[in-house]
Amino acid sequence: VRQVSTVAVLRAAVHEARVAGRHTVLVPTMGALHEGHLALVRLAAEHGDHTVVSIFVNPTQFDRREDLAAYPRDLDGDLEALGELGSATPAVVFAPTVADIYPRPPLTSVRVEDLTDRLCGATRPGHFDGVATMVTKLLHLVQPDAAVFGRKDFQQLQVVRRLVADLDLPVAILAAPTVREADGVAMSSRNRRLDEDGRQAARALSQALRAGVLAARDQRASGGRLSSVAVQGAAEEALAAAEGIEVDYLEVLLPEELSPAPRWLPADGQLLVAVAAYVGGEVRLIDNVVVGDQEDEERLLAATA
């Protein structure tokens, strides 16, 4: 793995690869890599022959200073894990400092409207402006043919897709499935901050999603239309029974627009069920499933059984 920290060296490396006719795929991360990130890197290797992984804890997307300070950092561990990926090992790891990325306080930001009003946008002011601006910067720095984002951050994925479309950025956005722990908990760098009780409590998020999927399956099995209210009710009921978590939101929305779902959808309609909760007081976790996306449903049910 070639580690690069300055913008100038990064630009030279990606230029070299482009001249050599290589297909660059970017995997933007904030480090503290877990199996979920490694799956993104493997997907990148399937789609190109020059993977660039960026590792940067972007301060402008943290709305709470404590969360930024507590965000796990482990560059040595990250480099080691990436180096062990065999043929999927990235060509370049871009791990800049804050001064490399923001040599002076930026006066410019990228804002995606509407999609950022709900879910995490409602409770984390400025978060998605920070993400959209950072992703735009990274896409300009690396100029990849494709970039990989995880479905776990579903709202982020949709925000990125929209900004790429709206700004005509010449990059393909690839979505990678959520990777889960053996107990169904979605992998997250924040899981490192949970103690044993917290880990136990965290299961409530994926279990609530499971309840939502099962409710939708019941409706399909009985030949009926899909009731967003029933899906939401089932997920809420599961969440209400959980201990040790404080729910931030549980929402059932249309997956593309992230807008409120109608009361009824066709039997094969799609609904995003998204949940965020504080576990053990201060660790904020998120999870989601798209009901009606058979693969997403199957993966969730298999992992939470």
Q: Which residues are catalytic?
A: 37
Considering the complex, state which of residue 1 and residue 27 has its C-beta at the smaller distance from ligand PAF.
27
Which residues in the 148-167 window bind ligand PAF by CB under 6 A? 153, 156
Amino acid in position 147: A
Which residues in the 122-141 window bind ligand PAF by CB under 6 A? 131, 134-135
- Phi and psi, residue 62, nearest 5°: -100, 125
Considering the complex, state which of residue 164 and residue 235 has its C-beta at the smaller distance from ligand PAF.
164
Give me the residues paired with residue 279 across strands: 245, 283
Q: Which residues contact 282 (CB under 8 A, 6 or more apart)?
A: 66, 70, 193
Residue matched to tokens 């239309």: 225
Considering the complex, state which of residue 153 and residue 293 has its C-beta at the smaller distance from ligand PAF.
153
Is 61 a binding residue for ligand PAF by CB under 6 A? The answer is yes
Q: Which of 24, 51, 58, 228 binds ligand PAF (CB under 6 A)?
A: 58
Considering the complex, state which of residue 53 and residue 252 has its C-beta at the smaller distance from ligand PAF.
53
- Phi and psi, residue 92, nearest 5°: -135, 135
Smallest gap, in angstroms, from Cβ of residue 266 to ligand PAF?
32
251 sits in which H/E element:
strand 245-253
Smallest gap, in angstroms, from Cβ of residue 6 to ligand PAF?
18
The C-alpha angle 181, 182, 183, rounded to 5 degrees, equals 90
Half-sphere exposure for 95 (CA within 13 Å, toward CB): 18
Ranked by CB distance to ligand PAF, the top (closest) residue is: 28
Residues that bind ligand PAF (CB under 6 A): 28-30, 58, 61, 131, 134-135, 153, 156
